[in-house]
Amino acid sequence: MNTFETDYIIVGAGYAGIAAASVLHSSGKNFVIVEARERIGGRVNTITLPNSNTVIDVGAQWIGPTQHKIWDWVYRHKVETVEGHDTGKNIFNYKGKTIKYSGTIPKIDPLSLIDLGIAMKRIDNMAKSINVETPWSHPKAEEWDGITMNTWIRRNSLTAKARLSLNIGLETVFACQSSEISLLHFLFYCKSGDNLDALLAVTNGAQQTLFVNGAQHLLEQEVQPFKDKIILNQPVKSIYQDDKSVIARTKDIEIKGKRIILALSPAMCQKIHFEQALPKRKAQLLQRVPMGAAMKCFGVYEKPFWRDKNFSGQIVSDRTPFHVSFDCSKKDGRGIFLFFVEGENARDFIELPENVRKEKFLQEVAKYYGNEALHPIDYIDKCWTEEEYSGGCYTGNMTPGSWVQFGASLRAVTGRIHWAGTETATQWSGYMDGAIQSGYRTAQEVLQMSET
């Protein structure tokens, strides 16, 4: 057992952990970052495909207009970005019928459209009233946390098409089924990411901008000044704390420090044995933020051939398992087409052999855009539930009833343990920007607490 001492221990080398490290580094503090995997990035993972040499983000990939913290990194490191393609006709596919339309609202029948519009307006109005710091303090918090979005949608949209649109929108944003989250969690998340429109949109929304060299590349720029502080391949298995110090133990090393930042999702914090039991609410909270299930399926083509036919690359469909697609092409002229497979569909789809998954993907793209889709240069898909140290993606979602009962424990410092991770963010929770916010907050916590 290799034993050493530092001042601050950061667990997790994703955006949250690195953001915390950046602050500590700028403040001239001693720290280490301990990471379970053989790489940095966490739920951010950029790979280069073998045939096309294309850079693909199989994890988080987009940034949007009001994500100021990550934009600050973009400007500082001068990394190249590209706007997501958002012109041409979108497709809405429902019960075998394909509707082509422009803009974010499909040309469905007027009744469905009004119904959808009313439901979305209701959501926005409710979301506006949420305080993202304390969603549990809302006068209706208990009621809203006691009803699942599945129930709310059934109760508040009369038409099947509006229900489908809302369910697919939710599935795409949360990577889970509408029965898994409460109205209150949904509203918190909408407000945390500005509003529902921003969560769903490309232009002016969360899917606006891509990294030419990938989101992991930006992180690698950020860690340059302190990359010697990162210890890879060491999952932290237990944490001990007393009134003087904290000790993190992995299989091979034991690190003693003053304070520790857990830059992990709540579900992954569950893997750690806390030698001094956590406060009861915190311990129970960690059991109640399960990860979504997201799968990304990419086809890389010689060119974005769908654009020639005036398609945007954006599809919303009720066909299983491919519900939502985007054009993720960058600047090299190649076409990069992305289908998301989410929630229960992701869990089914990943069980198929890779060649079958690829074939289904190609057939599906061809169905909408023609046979050029059948000849990609590369295909890759990634299911995040496979990763022992992510347990799912994109984010952990509070279970119904949990915001009201446990919300106050989400960020509360417990002795020498500080809680980061995008799930603890108030702005853009669930996104890279939220992860950075959480890292900054915890770094400030440890600095303040160590001063006194």
Q: Which residues bind its own copies (CB under 8 A)?
A: 142, 145-148, 150-151, 154, 176-180, 182, 235, 237-238, 249, 251, 267, 270-275, 277-278, 280-281, 283-284, 287-291, 293, 343-344, 346-347, 350, 383, 385-388, 391-392, 399-402, 404-405
Least distance in angstroms from the C-beta of 405 to its own copies: 5
Phi, psi of 144 (to 5 degrees): -70, -25
3-state secondary structure of 318: coil
Least distance in angstroms from the C-beta of 414 to its own copies: 13
Which residue's CB is nearer to its own copies, number 277 or number 355? 277
Closest C-alpha among 267, 273, 270, 286 to residue 393: 267
Sort strands 294-301 and 335-342 into parallel, antiparallel or unpaired: antiparallel
CA 98-100-104 angle, to 5 degrees, is 120
Which residue's CB is nearer to its own copies, number 131 or number 287? 287
Least distance in angstroms from the C-beta of 261 to its own copies: 20
Which residue's CB is nearer to its own copies, number 181 or number 206? 181
Which residue's CB is nearer to its own copies, number 20 or number 293? 293
Least distance in angstroms from the C-beta of 310 to its own copies: 38
Which residue's CB is nearer to its own copies, number 227 or number 271? 271
Sort strands 209-211 and 81-83 into parallel, antiparallel or unpaired: antiparallel
Which residue's CB is nearer to its own copies, number 76 or number 237? 237
Which residue's CB is nearer to its own copies, number 67 or number 397? 397
Task: Give the chain's end-to-end CA distance (angstroms, integer).
Answer: 33
Least distance in angstroms from the C-beta of 71 to its own copies: 32
Least distance in angstroms from the C-beta of 130 to its own copies: 17
Nearest-angstrom CA–CA distance, 13 and 39: 8
Alpha helix segments (H runs only) across 109-148: 110-128, 141-145
Alpha helix segments (H runs only) across 180-333: 183-192, 196-200, 215-223, 266-269, 280-286, 305-308
Least distance in angstroms from the C-beta of 142 to its own copies: 7
Work out the angle between the directed axes of helices 15-26 and 215-223 (0-180°, nearest 10).
20
Closest C-alpha among 363, 367, 384, 386 to residue 375: 363
Phi, psi of 192 (to 5 degrees): -60, -35
Least distance in angstroms from the C-beta of 98 to its own copies: 26
Which residue's CB is nearer to its own copies, number 136 or number 301? 136
212 contacts: CB under 8 Å, gap ≥ 6: 55, 79, 80, 81, 82, 330, 331
